[in-house]
């Protein structure tokens, strides 16, 4: 009997310990039931949570295409030089533009392709969409890639940054909303095309993807950069729909449970039934939306500029041009819209329209500035890129409002949007006569679909022939540097440096350097070569010294190449050719006497041989050249 009592007592003791242990574990689990649920749903390793920065340590410098809801900011200021600080290989990728022709290989990055800029503590990072199918986070000081996320096709457009400080997963507090082409394994008839996605800024991992549905449009890509207002995003898709959604409000797809999609709050068509036939399927929206008051405005390839009311969620304004519209509408200081018009589907010329959205559509045109027709690639003229305004930097431009844009005709134009000339011009459809603004500056730079960038007293312009830097001083623009290259993306500038991706497969940082790379790509940095022998007369600066005018005809990283050009020019009769170092580069300069009878003939001769030459101030050039001639 005693033995049984001992056995029963032992079992009771063990049961008590087990019960207390379970209660303790139960209480521990219930201390934070929300955290337990999140851990079950969270697919990210715990170590990645540690990557998250404190809220106040993140500063968004350029968080969407052209910076903000007015689309008027691409960075703060820029140095006077375009010296190469670094370059990083972005690679290349396959894409199918025309199914009949098969796949093509595209290198680097292109239109619109503007790098986003984010500051974490004292470190600056870039977000760049690339033709190798990847979205990259790149450290700005040295070009090091932090992470890469790969899509199913090339990335053409610019992303937008969305912040949700109440995100359950801290790694998803900051998202990058980025589109791509439809996918090499997809067609227009595919059931699902995941061409719009949200990527964690901190980890580079996918958070959700959107199926861009099939419509009457001939595209299911996404090029546009979303407009973020509070916790809502607004973006036009190339299938012709304009959507409104909360990027944090997501659910698993009904058709494919392996992917989460954002819940769309509202969508409207950006085309009419008649546009389907007249535009032959070109109903795509590539432009990024802007905002004035409680209305969001977006240009569509269907030929319309639509005004969407945020409160009623309806289209309340519709201005029709009939042309293809690719460029993003930019908001002016007086709350009007600047619209780039391509030469397509219209009888007249393309150019820039200024529209007052507070007026009825038939009376909203303030002025029109036409550009010349020209066949280049598949374009016939007008403007494909977007205009730029200097509203954020007025004091450095003598408080004069300016608008800059580049035409397919190869010219950079700078106009005064508030001063009208005395003449009238025909509108894009040759139906109306409109006022036209005053032209301030015009420069032949070659065709471009990029958007110019204003910063403090500077204007940076990219095109298919290179990168041009202009400085505004004493009421005029003067070219102060040039880089040969093939660019169609839009640059961003920050803390003196310019960041831009090229179609040659690389991304560059240009600015001032103390230690430039020794191994330089000769194809990228070489003498300025003639690119267009048609009528072209660069504006000649009056900045001269008492003795000579310095005409820069080439800029080299490798001094041997500069010396080779110098000796060649001397043999051709340019005896006053010198080499003058400009930071880490060697400028080949022809010196011309300004008071000489042969001055004009000499300049014409140089212009013919080097169409992209420029004239620099001669101060200290003679002293710099003593040890280099």
Q: Tell me the two tokens of residue 612.
A: 């992209």
Question: Above 60 in pLDDT, residue 582?
Answer: no
Q: Residue 27: count other Cβ atoms within 10 Å of its Cβ.
A: 9
Per-residue pLDDT, 391 = 97
Q: What is the mean pLDDT of residues 213-217?
A: 97
Share of the chain above pLDDT 70, in %: 79
- Buried b / exposed e along 78-109 (16+ C-beta atoms within 10 A): bbbbbbbbbbbebbbbebbeeeeeeeeebbbb
Question: 55-75+90-291+388-511 maps to which CATH number?
Answer: 2.130.10
Only one residue has tokens 């030459």, namely: 613
Per-residue pLDDT, 587 = 81
Question: Above 60 in pLDDT, residue 237?
Answer: yes
Per-residue pLDDT, 560 = 79
CA-closest candidate to residue 439, choices 421, 424, 453: 421
Share of the chain above pLDDT 90, in %: 69
Per-residue pLDDT, 527 = 32
Question: Above 50 in pLDDT, residue 490?
Answer: yes
Interval 109-131: pLDDT, tens = 999 999 999 999 889 999 999 99
Strand ranges (DSSP E) for 141-259? 145-150, 160-163, 174-179, 196-200, 206-210, 227-229, 232-236, 241-252
Per-residue pLDDT, 31 = 28
More confident residue, 44 or 303: 303
Question: Above 50 in pLDDT, residue 291?
Answer: yes
Per-residue pLDDT, 345 = 94
- Return the SS3 of 607: helix
Residue 11 backbone dihedrals phi, psi, to 5 degrees = -65, -40
d(CA 235, CA 250): 17
Interval 387-407: pLDDT, tens = 999 999 999 999 999 999 999
Q: What is the mean pLDDT of residues 204-216?
A: 97
CB of 260 closer than 8 Å to CB of 206? no
Interval 63-80: pLDDT, tens = 999 999 999 999 999 999
Q: Average pLDDT of the chain?
A: 85
What is the pTM (predicted TM-score) of this model? 0.76
Do the bridges between strand 577-582 and strand 549-556 make them parallel or antiparallel, or are there none, so unpaired? unpaired
Per-residue pLDDT, 16 = 54
CB of 65 closer than 8 Å to CB of 157? yes
User: Ranked by mean pLDDT, which of 96-110, 141-155, 592-606 comes out on top?
Assistant: 141-155
Question: In angstroms, how far is the first alpha carbon of the chain from the final one?
Answer: 116
Do the bridges between strand 295-299 and strand 497-501 make them parallel or antiparallel, or are there none, so unpaired? unpaired
Residues of the chain with CATH 2.130.10: 55-75+90-291+388-511
C-alpha R_g of the chain: 29
Q: Residue 295: count other Cβ atoms within 10 Å of its Cβ.
A: 18
Q: What is the mean pLDDT of residues 229-235?
A: 97
Who's near 284: CB < 8 A, 6+ residues apart? 217, 218, 219, 221, 223, 238, 239, 240, 300, 301
d(CA 293, CA 315): 15
More confident residue, 347 or 553: 347
Interval 16-51: pLDDT, tens = 544 444 443 333 333 232 233 232 233 333 334 455
């Amino acid at each position: 009997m005693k033995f049984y009592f001992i056995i029963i007592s032992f079992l009771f003791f063990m049961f008590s310990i087990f019960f207390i242990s379970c209660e303790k574990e139960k209480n521990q689990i219930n201390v934070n039931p929300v955290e337990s649920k999140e851990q079950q749903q969270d697919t990210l390793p715990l170590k990645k949570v540690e990557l998250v920065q404190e809220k106040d340590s993140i500063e968004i410098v350029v968080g969407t295409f052209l910076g903000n809801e007015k689309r008027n900011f691409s960075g703060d200021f820029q140095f006077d030089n375009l010296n190469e600080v670094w370059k990083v290989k972005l690679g290349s990728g396959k894409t199918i533009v025309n199914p009949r022709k098969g796949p093509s290989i595209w290198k680097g990055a292109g239109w619109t392709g503007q790098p986003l800029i984010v500051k974490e503590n004292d470190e600056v990072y870039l977000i760049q969409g690339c033709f190798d199918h990847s979205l990259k986070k790149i450290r700005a000081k040295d070009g090091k890639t932090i992470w890469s996320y790969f899509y199913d096709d090339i990335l053409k457009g610019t992303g937008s940054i969305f912040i949700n400080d109440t995100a359950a997963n801290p790694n998803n507090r900051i998202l990058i909303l980025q589109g791509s082409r439809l996918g090499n394994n997809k067609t227009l008839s595919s059931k699902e095309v995941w061409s719009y996605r949200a990527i964690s800024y901190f980890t580079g991992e996918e958070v959700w993807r959107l199926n861009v549905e099939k419509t009457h449009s001939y595209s299911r890509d996404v090029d546009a950069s979303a407009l973020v207002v509070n916790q809502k995003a607004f973006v036009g898709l190339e299938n012709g729909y304009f959507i409104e959604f909360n990027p944090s409000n997501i659910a698993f797809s009904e058709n494919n449970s392996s992917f989460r999609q954002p819940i769309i709050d509202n969508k409207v068509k950006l085309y009419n039934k008649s546009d389907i036939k007249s535009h032959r399927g070109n109903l795509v929206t590539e432009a990024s939306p802007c905002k004035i008051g409680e209305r969001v405005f977006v240009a569509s390839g269907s030929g319309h500029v639509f005004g969407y009311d945020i409160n009623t969620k309806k289209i309340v304004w519709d201005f029709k041009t009939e042309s293809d519209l690719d460029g993003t509408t930019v908001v002016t200081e007086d709350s009007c819209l600047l619209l780039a018009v391509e030469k397509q589907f219209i009888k007249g010329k393309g150019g820039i329209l200024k529209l007052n959205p507070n007026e009825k559509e038939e009376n909203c045109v303030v002025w029109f500035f036409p550009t010349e027709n020209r066949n280049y690639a598949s374009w016939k003229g007008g403007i494909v890129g977007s205009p730029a305004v200097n509203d954020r930097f007025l004091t450095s431009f003598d408080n004069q409002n300016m608008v800059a844009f580049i035409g397919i005709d190869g010219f950079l134009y700078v106009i005064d949007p508030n001063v009208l000339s005395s003449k009238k011009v025909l509108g894009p459809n040759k139906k109306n006569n409109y006022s036209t603004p005053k032209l301030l500056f015009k420069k032949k730079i070659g065709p471009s679909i990029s958007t110019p960038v204003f910063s403090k007293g500077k204007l940076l312009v990219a095109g298919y022939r290179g990168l041009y830097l202009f400085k505004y001083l004493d009421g005029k623009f003067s070219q102060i540097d040039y880089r040969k290259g093939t660019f169609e993306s839009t640059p961003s500038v920050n803390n003196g440096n310019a960041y831009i991706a090229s179609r040659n497969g690389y991304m560059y940082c240009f600015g001032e350097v103390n230690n430039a790379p020794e191994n330089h790509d000769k194809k990228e940095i070489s003498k300025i070569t003639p690119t267009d022998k048609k009528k072209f007369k660069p504006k000649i600066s009056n900045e001269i010294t008492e003795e000579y005018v310095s005409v820069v005809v080439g800029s080299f990283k490798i001094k041997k190449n500069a010396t080779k050009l110098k000796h060649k020019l001397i043999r051709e009769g340019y005896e006053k050719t010198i080499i003058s170092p400009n930071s880490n580069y060697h400028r080949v300069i022809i010196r011309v006497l300004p008071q000489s009878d042969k001055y004009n003939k000499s300049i014409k001769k140089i212009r013919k041989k080097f169409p992209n030459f420029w004239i620099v101030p001669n101060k200290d050039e003679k002293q710099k050249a003593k040890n280099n001639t």
